[in-house]
Amino acid sequence: MNKNYLLGVASYEDPEKQNFFNNVISKRNKEYCNLHNIEYLEVTKEIYPIRGKLGWFKMFKAVEIVNNILNEGDGLIYMDADALIVDKNAELLPPEGKSFAYSIDTRTHTVWGSFLYIKIFGHKN
C-alpha cells in the first residue's frame, strides 16, 4: 500500500516567526494530513546551512526522505516554511498519471512547493 508524506521544515531565529509556524502553519499542515491520510514529518531542530544557505536544508532533507523512507508509488509534499495551506480540501499531490507537480509564487517567480510521487525505474544496489 502506498503512503504519502508532507514535510515541514522551519527553524527561525525570530521567535515570532517560529511561533507562527508552530501554532498556525504546523497546525494547518497536521489538519491537512489528518484529512488526507498523509503522514506529517516536521523538522524544527538541528537545521543548518548547506552550501552556505539554510534554504538548501529542505531540499537535502527531501532527498534523504526519498532515499531512506519512500518506496515506489509513495508521495512527498514539501513546501516553504511560510507557505500556508488555505484550502484543506485541495489535492496537493500530482494528478493521476503525473509524477511531479510544483507551485510558483507569481509575485517572485520562485517555486514554493513541490509535490511528487516516487517511481523507481531500476533497482537500488
Secondary structure string (H, E, C) spanning 8-61: EECCCCCHHHHHHHHHHHHHHHHHHHHHHCCEEEEECCCCCCECCECHHHHHHH
Helix (H) or strand (E) holding 68: helix 55-68
**Angle 40-89-104 from CA coordinates, rounded to 5°:** 75
- Grid cell digits, residue 64: 534523504
- Per-residue pLDDT of 8-48, as tens digits, reads 999 999 999 999 999 999 999 999 999 999 999 999 999 99
Give the pTM: 0.82
Long-range contacts of 15-24 (CB under 8 A, 24+ apart): 17/82, 18/44, 21/81, 21/82, 24/84
Averaged pLDDT score across all residues of the chain: 83
Please name the amino acid found at residue 8. G
Domain 4-117 has CATH 3.90.550.10: yes
What does the pLDDT read at residue 107?
A: 63
Domain ranges of the chain: 4-117
> Given pLDDT bands bounded at 50, 70 and 90, which one contains residue 122?
very low
pLDDT beyond 60 at 100: yes
- Per-residue pLDDT of 52-72, as tens digits, reads 988 889 889 998 998 999 888
What integer is the mean pLDDT of 1-11?
92
Please report, rounded to a whole number, the percentage of residues in the chain having pLDDT higher than 70.
Answer: 79
